[in-house]
Amino acid sequence: MTVLCLYGRESHGHFEDLQHEMGLEECGGLGPAPGDFISASRAGASRTVWDVKARYFKPKGFGDYMALIVEKRDARPDEIDRF
């Protein structure tokens, strides 16, 4: 099973492990690509979206890992209606 590991980019360019992993099946079986959006939460009127900026395959050197570099943001009103 492919595991998606989420990372943010810090201001000085290093990656920060966001301590969030998900299975590929949570993204429709597809590996999100730069420009894709992931709905991070479904509760309440204000929802979180992860904007995928980059992806790296097998970042840990073994197994089925994919690292996604994301930026976290609040969903826009038009996006909330889609969820």
pTM for this entry: 0.82
Does residue 47 contact residue 74 with C-beta atoms inside 8 Å? yes
Q: State the Cα–Cα distance between residues 7 and 24, nearest whole angstrom.
A: 16
Domain of 76?
3-80
Residues 42 and 83 sit within 8 Å (Cβ to Cβ): yes
Identify the pLDDT of residue 17.
Answer: 92
Who contacts 35 (Cβ-Cβ below 8 Å, separation ≥6)? 52
Q: How many domains does the chain have?
A: 1
Q: What is the pLDDT of residue 8?
A: 94
- Taking only the tens place, the pLDDT of each residue in 21-75 is 998 888 888 889 999 999 876 555 568 899 999 998 866 666 788 899 999 898 8
- For residue 37, count other CB atoms closer than 10 A to its CB: 14
